[in-house]
Amino acid sequence: MSLAELTVSHLRCIEHAELETSPGLTLIWGDNGSGKTSLLEAMFLLGRGRSFRTRNNERLIQRGKDHLRVIGRIRTTSGEIRTLGFEATPTSTTARIAGRPAQSLAELSNAFPVQVIEPGIHRLVEEGGYRRRRWMDWAVFHVEPLFIDTWVRYTRALKQRNAALKIEAAQAQAFDPELARLGELIAESRHRFVTRLQPYWLDAVAALSGLEVDLHYLRGWGQDQTLLEALTASRARDEARHVTHAGPHRADIAVRIHGRPAREVLSRGQQKLVAVAMTVAQLRLLQDLTQTTPTLLLDDPAAELDGERLQRFIAQVASLRCQLVVTSLHPESRLFGTPERTFHVVQGRVQPV
Ligand SMILES: Nc1ncnc2c1ncn2[C@@H]1O[C@H](COP(=O)(O)OP(=O)(O)O)[C@@H](O)[C@H]1O
Ligand SMILES: [Mg+2]
């Protein structure tokens, strides 16, 4: 699957832009602040329904405008073209797949699998479990089609249970059997993913960083209990704090080096390599399991990697053989070979070169 065409309106500094991207390598170059990252954000929005720079869609809308719109034409594995649309106003977002509203973000992910490596990627290692859960679930969505439905129903049941905890705590336990059943399924799917990932991970982290970092899956409740037992055991605490403490919404992947949290031991640069390795390993696994290759957006990859690290990074990315869209400050950037298409961005205006 790959992005064939992109149309962007009213996104940050981009008033209007249209570009045809290559199924291989596309280069977007321009000065700082010209709008390169904004174009990658537009592509990411199509497959994810959110930006990788902000959780607040309103910030993406061009100042003085009341909505933004992105349209993408996706070439599917069988060669058909499918149109995806994303629109945001300050208070709403709508994603469309071939003209009809997407049912969930997961459905969008399947319509256009897209991943990004950008200067903030170290946050995958440094910050809380939320990012790692999202990272993991994006992959599980692709590998296990049934996961989407389970995940949506779990999220709904969890919301209802939390609402009950606030209003009438005695009602909350009515949700426990359903929550426990769905939660166990989610945990099993994630566990399968992390287990399958291991050989890819060991390869990628060794090649990229040379560090002995391990990824250890934590499912979100105690080891020797079922989820139903954990929910029962934490009922008093749940009622006191009005939230559900046990369950896959509290899962994490512990990133550890010699038994200690990587975020406490590694430099920012090392964390970045570890996060890149997580992402490369994930993409390889998806390629092997699903025969589709996600599109990879690389935002200014040369900026923070030097010499040998950059060479290792390039070798890993090149071996993925996926659609690549790369930004650079330099028109002659040839890090990933000769681009099939190049665009120059000047103050939000995009010109093919
Ligand atoms: N909501 C907005 N409306 C208009 N301009 C914006 C908005 N948000 C950011 N910008 C401007 O858009 C530009 C964003 O460029 P960016 O895509 O980050 O550039 P690059 O990646 O090429 O350095 C900046 O100049 C910024 O000031
Ligand atoms: Mg940028």
Tokens describing residue 14: 């981009």
Verify whether ligand 1 is closer than 6 Å to residue 57 (CB atom). Answer: no
Q: What is the pLDDT of residues 10-33, one digit of tens each?
A: 999 999 999 999 999 999 999 999
Verify whether ligand 1 is closer than 6 Å to residue 223 (CB atom). Answer: no
Verify whether ligand 1 is closer than 6 Å to residue 63 (CB atom). Answer: yes
Tokens describing residue 85: 């649309």
Query: Does residue 298 form part of some domain?
Result: no
pLDDT band at 292 (very low <50, low <70, confident <90, very high): confident
Query: Does residue 218 form part of some domain?
Result: yes
Task: Specify whether the CB–CB gap between 250 and 222 falls below 8 A.
Answer: no
pLDDT band at 206 (very low <50, low <70, confident <90, very high): very high
Query: Does residue 255 form part of some domain?
Result: yes
Percent of the chain with pLDDT over 70: 100
Q: Ligand 2 centroid to 53 CA: how many Å?
A: 10
Task: Specify whether the CB–CB gap between 16 and 81 falls below 8 A.
Answer: no
Verify whether ligand 1 is closer than 6 Å to residue 248 (CB atom). Answer: no
Query: Does residue 283 form part of some domain?
Result: no
3-state secondary structure of 131: helix
pLDDT, position 295: 97
Task: Check whether 324 has a pLDDT greater than 80.
Answer: yes
3-state secondary structure of 27: strand
Quote the CA–CA distance of 118 and 41 in Å, as a whole number: 11
pLDDT, position 181: 98
Estimate to the nearest angstrom the gap between the alpha carbon of 249 and the chain centroid: 17
Number of domains composing the chain: 1
Query: Does residue 80 form part of some domain?
Result: no
Verify whether ligand 1 is closer than 6 Å to residue 33 (CB atom). Answer: yes
Q: Ligand 1 centroid to 230 CA: how many Å?
A: 47
State the closest ligand 1 atom to the C-alpha of 60, by its place in the atom list counted from 1.
1
Q: What average pLDDT does the chain have?
A: 94
Vertex 151: Cα angle to 194 and 54 (nearest 5): 80
Do the strands 349-352 and 81-88 form a parallel or antiparallel pair, or are they unpaired?
unpaired
pLDDT band at 211 (very low <50, low <70, confident <90, very high): very high
Interval 284-310 mean pLDDT? 89
Note the residue count of the chain. Answer: 353
Query: Does residue 297 form part of some domain?
Result: no
pLDDT band at 310 (very low <50, low <70, confident <90, very high): confident
b/e map of 155-167 (b: 16 or more CB within 10 Å)? eebbebbbebbee
Interval 74-90 mean pLDDT? 94
Report CA Rg, the chain.
21
pLDDT, position 238: 96
Query: Does residue 41 form part of some domain?
Result: no
Of the bound ligands, which one is closest to the alpha carbon of residue 14? Answer: 1
The residue nearest atom 7 of ligand 1, judged by CA position, is 12
Q: How many CB atoms lie within 10 A of CB 334?
A: 11
3-state secondary structure of 295: strand
Of the bound ligands, which one is closest to the alpha carbon of residue 343? Answer: 1
Of the bound ligands, which one is closest to the alpha carbon of residue 31? Answer: 1
Which residue in 203, 168, 194 sits closest to 252, CA to CA? 194
> Around ion ligand 2, which residues have CB less than 5 A away?
37
Verify whether ligand 1 is closer than 6 Å to residue 38 (CB atom). Answer: yes
pLDDT, position 103: 83
Q: What is the pLDDT of residues 170-189, one digit of tens each?
A: 899 999 999 999 999 999 99
Quote the CA–CA distance of 123 and 119 in Å, as a whole number: 9
The residue nearest atom 27 of ligand 1, judged by CA position, is 33
Q: Ligand 2 centroid to 164 CA: how many Å?
A: 44
- Mutation pick for ligand 1 pocket among 38, 43, 51, 351 (CB with most ligand atoms within 8 Å): 38
| pTM of the predicted structure, to 2 decimals | 0.94
First vs last C-alpha separation in the chain: 25
Query: Does residue 333 form part of some domain?
Result: no
Strands (E), the chain: 2-11, 14-20, 25-30, 68-75, 81-88, 93-97, 100-101, 114-117, 213-218, 252-257, 260-261, 295-298, 324-328, 341-346, 349-352
Domain that includes residue 231, residue range: 123-267
> Which one has a higher pLDDT value, 311 or 85?
85
Tokens describing residue 308: 């040998």
Verify whether ligand 1 is closer than 6 Å to residue 36 (CB atom). Answer: yes
Q: Which amino acid is at 328?
A: S
Of the bound ligands, which one is closest to the alpha carbon of residue 301? Answer: 2
State the closest ligand 1 atom to the C-alpha of 41, by its place in the atom list counted from 1.
17
CATH of the domain at 153: 1.20.1050.90
